[in-house]
Amino acid sequence: MLPDFLILGAAKSGTTALYEYLMQHPEVFMSTPKEPHYWALGEAPLAFTDPGDGQRIARRAVLERPAYEALFDGARPGQVAGEASVSSLYYERTAARVAAAMPGARLIAMLRQPADRAYSGHQFMTMRGFERLPFPAALAAEPERRAAGWHHMWHYRTMGLYAEQIARFQAHFPAAHMKVIVYDDFVRDPQGTLRDVFEFIGVDPSFRPARVPRPHPSGTPRRRLTAQLVSRPNMVRSTVRKVIPRSMRSGLRSRLLDASVERVPIEPSVRNELTAGFADDIGRLQTLIERDLSAWLTPR
């Protein structure tokens, strides 16, 4: 079977927390893995060349339709099924593929202030031991990296150009089938946001999760080995997955990362300059989603 809804992205905008909330709802079935990447990479996978985990993403992506549909075989009668591949929003081919296969799907996009999202993405890649350049230098290197075939998590600036990404889906789906969540709203009122999401996908909106997931921390490694053991695939993580229930793993992972990374805030001047570069796109996005995003443009 195909899923009923998709969390499209964007990366580093709260999609993992939403996924973990939804997993607790008895009327919802979420895929394992969280990110099959089928709609972005399936049938014609990209040959990533980056020095990070691009090859792992391509290798683990669910590339064939039967295997993708099998991810949802565990859904019980009456459950709605979904997945949360953050590549879906970003890659150009996705919207048309989803529309052709699932014209009735419900789509959820989570959007974060793009300069903050870019910096969080850079910290995430730094924490995992892949990114070695400081943030300004990594931004300067981005065009060359993209041209060389580095995967989407390295596209710090470009992933934040949301207007075209949203417009592609709006060209294929009616407004009633699309929900855009602003990250700030999710952080400020997670229960209210969840209630809206539950109503949107057609499940009991009164359900309240017993366990509140914490956002996955990103930052500069204070203890590089610990950060990499917790955040990158390895034998230790594989063993932990076998012996510790999923319900306990997320909290343990967050506590270990909290102890092993240092949150270094973005330099205000860098954020302001980067935000200014997003201004036109933010203006267009406001019109597309009919939402005032002027707070995103406020200098720090």
Kindly state whether residue 235 falls inside one of the protein's structural domains.
no
Residue that wins the pLDDT comparison between 277 and 220: 277
Residue 240 has pLDDT above 90, yes or no: no
Which CATH number is 164's domain given? 3.40.50.300
Q: What are the phi and psi torsion angles at 254 (to 5°)? A: -65, -40
Q: Quick check: is 193 in a domain?
A: yes
Q: How many domains does the chain have?
A: 1
Global pTM value: 0.87
- Side-by-side strand order, sheet with 106-111: 28-30, 80-83, 5-9, 106-111, 178-182
Q: Which domain holds residue 146?
A: 5-219+263-297
Tell me the percentage of the chain whose pLDDT exceeds 90: 76
Asked, for residue 42, whether it belongs to a domain, the answer is yes
> Is residue 251 included in any domain, yes or no?
no
For range 91-99, the mean pLDDT: 98
More confident residue, 181 or 52: 181
Distance CA 115, CA 278 (A): 8
Q: pLDDT category, 225, cuts 50, 70, 90?
A: low
The per-residue pLDDT for 53 is 81
Mean pLDDT of the chain: 90
* Confidence category of residue 78, pLDDT binned at 50, 70, 90: very high
pLDDT at 252 over 70: no
Q: Is 246 a member of any domain?
A: no
Tokens of 271: 């954020």
pLDDT band at 215 (very low <50, low <70, confident <90, very high): low
Arithmetic mean of pLDDT, 34-46: 92
229: in domain: no
Residue 101 has pLDDT above 50, yes or no: yes
Instruction: Examine the pLDDT at 285 and tell me if it is beyond 70.
Output: yes
* pLDDT at residue 58, as a whole number: 80
Q: Determine the pLDDT at residue 19.
A: 98
**In the predicted structure, residue 247 carries a pLDDT above the cut 70:** no
Give yes or no for a contact between 51 and 153, defined as CB atoms under 8 angstroms apart.
no
User: Judging by DSSP bridges, how do beta strands 220-221 and 261-262 pair with one another?
Assistant: antiparallel
Q: Is 130 helix (H, G, I), strand (E, B) or coil?
A: coil
